[in-house]
Chains A and B, each alone.
Chain A
Amino acid sequence: MRHLHTALWGVLPYLTLVVLVAGTAWRYRYDRFGFTTRSSQLHESRLLRVAGPLFHYGLLFVIAGHVAGLLVPESLTDRLHVSEHLYHANALIAGGTAGLATLAGLALLLHRRLRTPAIRAATSRSDRVVYPVLITVVLAGLTATASGATARSTYDYRLGVSVWFRSLFALDPDVTAMAEAPLVYRLHALLAMALFALWPFTRLVHAFTVPLGYLVRPYVVYRSRGRGEVGAGAGRPGR
């Protein structure tokens, strides 16, 4: 069992990270043409206008919650006199709401993907892999959040999962911290690693191309044919 835990919580995270980084770099170099949202709004707009923002904005809050929960150590919030009760109530209400919004958005998106023939036909093989992973990881995460709300729960993930997560970046993985976590947390972490490993090879890469540069760019872009500034000539392997 000890070896399995070491493999899962001491080795696998790094493998995932390597796949994520190297895979994205590879895809960016060899398949820049494939970096797209592959939007299906052309086929169906009514449901997407609700579901798309619900899912994505929910996800942004979920990510913010993960950053706060995993990276901010308990000692810091203690020093700021944030009580344990207040912290967890906040995590449950804000996190739970964001998680539910994400889940509802995802469910609606999947519904329209399955029910609209045109979108169904446009669903790729990588989509078929990534959607089940995505929905189970959200479900596992929500279950973990909900389990923290029950009266019987005594597990404080900020002393377990978060410690393990931070230890990964110190290159000294605290395997026991994760090995002792409840099943649903371990499941969530495993599925998340699967998601990150799939990331570069699916449509999820579009998340890495958030166009924040738009905010500071002049409206009209000029480019010279001769100099071929980006995407042309040198450095772009043939497709």
Chain B
Amino acid sequence: MRVMAQVAMVMNLDKCIGCHTCSVTCKQTWTNRTGTEYAWFNNVETRPGLGYPRGHEDQEKWRGGWRLKGGRLVPRTGGRARRLARLFANPELPTLDDYYQPWTYDYENLTTAPLGDDIPTAPPRSAIDGHPTAITWGPNWDDDLGGGPDQLAADPLLARMSEQVRLDYERAFMFYLPRICEHCLNPSCVAVCPSGALYKRVEDGIVLVDQDRCRGWRMCVSGCPYKKVYFNHATGKAEKCTFCYPRIEAGDPTVCSETCVGRLRYLGVMLYDPDEVGAAASVTDEKDLYEAQLGCFLDPDDPEVARAAEASGIPHDWVEAARRSPVHALITRYRVALPLHPEYRTMPMVWYVPPLSPVVDALTGSGHDGEDPAALFGAIDTLRIPLGYLAELFTAGDPGPVEAALCRLAAMRSHMRRVNLGEEQDPRIAESVGLDEPGILELYRLLALAKYDERYVIPTAYTGSVPDPGGTGAGCSLDGVGGPGMMPDGAEGGPGLGSDFGEFDPDAFHAPPTAGSGTSSALRGRVNLLNWNGKGRPDGLFPRARGTVRTEPEL
């Protein structure tokens, strides 16, 4: 059994208040540059709604994700030959209008407008070409159901439901859906990249774009069904959510998680069997995809799995972290988190706890006790409309798992209300959703109380042993002549003569201290002639003869 680790995320939608703090902090961190004005690696959508880019869930139009062709998985946009044939124009690429035309304001006009009767304004200007523009759409134009039924009608998920459902739905239900890149186990953006620039990292499963390898063929933009790969129109390269990998490597949560006001995001390690992914992604019935993906995940508490994980090169502290992973608990132990659009067959790894609040609100609004278990279970069952919509979102239309997850949340609410009010506890509530009392308390703790360290269980990416490619032996790099803390070698002194500092040579003072010392891989074998004082022969001025070992610089 091979084991791989993935840093995954769960978002508890009940807690999202749609404040867009995650979007704004993400943008400030990653996309506040020319060329990415329109790109939001993290965005918050109001559901039902069109989303960003508009109607991105309509795969008949955008052809993202995978499809089954004679039992085999092929990208929905077509196989390798078809993609190469369409290299010169990508027929499924969204244009800027599908996202929105980014704009700024001509603030200068406020101070430079000629004196007049009217207060000067800051008219909008296109951030792309600088011309005056009219603002007709934005990244969250239909926020809080803005735009009304006209916009809602175009929601690809609602379009799959009947007219009756649509009307009822508007009265009943609204929630927020924060979206980032799903860092899928079976990423279709990676599959359609002709250059091989997109890759999935072996260590933590983060999907990244190699900026030096990307050639701007922009297949990934259309290949991703979540439309979470963006084309930087200034650099001509694809960019996407990086899962804040520099922070994750250091054991810190992503910026969107760190700054989330509602503390609704959870980060942790999932262990999975990579050899199961292909089969799981190609099950015939879309409704089985959720269960199939659950089947790929491995239980880190199983000693067999732990042994296999360490045999597969996963560090011990990662296995430890997987055991404490809040994500693992929400996904597999309590089964309250669900994947976003499993029917795309990409095996997404950002999961969601479906929102129960709208059901409670609807119940309370109709004069019932919104936390009475009997009424709540009944309401979940009878409010078919939100349930159907959530099922379209999270389980390819199968209401079963959504209903089960909502019932578990409802049971937790009812149980905890009895605890808080000092009422008699009823073990049947927990039993009815397949949990026991400690389980319910644990789930409550995770969803309601969990502190920073419990929400974000991220092992660091340090390597346990320091690689020593030069074979120079262990020890501090400051030791010895030419180390980063040392003065450059003196012209007359030479290495090893006199003190370790050698004689100070003012000409060489501005030489980079690590040049030629072999400690900086970027500078290895290169000499900056501008810093060469003309004396001696710096190491790396001439190529080394094959087979010889690098010697100390001859000076």
Contacts and interface: CB of A to CB of B under 8 A. Distances in A.
B93 A214 contact: no
B522 A233 contact: yes
A51 B198 CA distance: 28
Contacts of A80: none
Given A221-B199, A238-B522, A214 B233 contact: no
Interface string A27-55: 00000110111111111110011111101
Interface string B192-209: 011110111111100000
Contacts of B128: 43, 117-118, 121
**Candidate in B88, B195, B199 with the most chain A CB atoms within 10 angstroms:** B88
A236 B522 contact: yes
Given A36-B236, A39-B218, A45-B95, A220 B187 contact: yes
A230 B211 CA distance: 11
Given A39-B231, A121-B128, A225-B201, A231 B213 contact: yes
Nearest to B35: A122
A4 interface: no
Given A43-B96, A224-B201, A236-B522, A52 B89 contact: yes
A214 B84 CA distance: 8
Interface in A190-239: 206, 209-215, 217, 219-226, 230-231, 233-234, 236-238
Q: Could you say which interface size class chain A belongs to? A: 35 or more
Contacts of A43: 95-96, 128, 233
Nearest to A37: B216
B195 A209 contact: yes
B89 A237 contact: no
B91 interface: yes
A238 B212 CA distance: 12
B526 A237 contact: yes
B213 A230 contact: yes
A209 B202 contact: no
A233 B87 CA distance: 30
A202 to B, nearest CB: 13
B406 interface: no
Contact of A222 (B129, B202, B215): B202
B81 A36 contact: no
A57 interface: yes
A100 B138 CA distance: 42
A66 interface: no
Nearest to B4: A222
A114 B126 CA distance: 17
Given A42-B231, A220-B191, A215 B84 contact: yes
A220 B131 contact: no
A236 B525 CA distance: 12
A55 B193 CA distance: 23
B331 interface: no
Given A36-B235, A118-B128, A234 B216 contact: no
Nearest to A43: B96
B186 interface: yes
Nearest to A47: B89
B143 interface: no
A56 interface: yes
B80 interface: yes
Interface in B519-542: 521-522, 524, 526
Contacts of B521: 233-234
Contact of B130 (A39, A42, A121, A224): A121
B54 interface: no
B88 A32 contact: no
Contacts of A36: 214-216, 235-237
B416 interface: no
23 contacts: A36-B215, A39-B217, A39-B218, A42-B93, A42-B233, A44-B95, A49-B89, A49-B91, A52-B89, A53-B88, A121-B129, A206-B216, A215-B80, A215-B81, A215-B84, A220-B186, A220-B187, A220-B191, A222-B199, A225-B249, A226-B463, A230-B210, A234-B522
Interface of A: 32-33, 35-45, 48-53, 55-57, 117-118, 120-122, 206, 209-215, 217, 219-226, 230-231, 233-234, 236-238
Closest 4 CB pairs of A and B: A211-B194, A36-B236, A219-B191, A38-B236
Given A117-B129, A226-B463, 16 more contacts: A35-B212, A36-B214, A37-B216, A37-B217, A41-B218, A42-B233, A53-B88, A57-B88, A211-B196, A211-B215, A214-B193, A215-B80, A220-B186, A220-B191, A225-B203, A231-B212
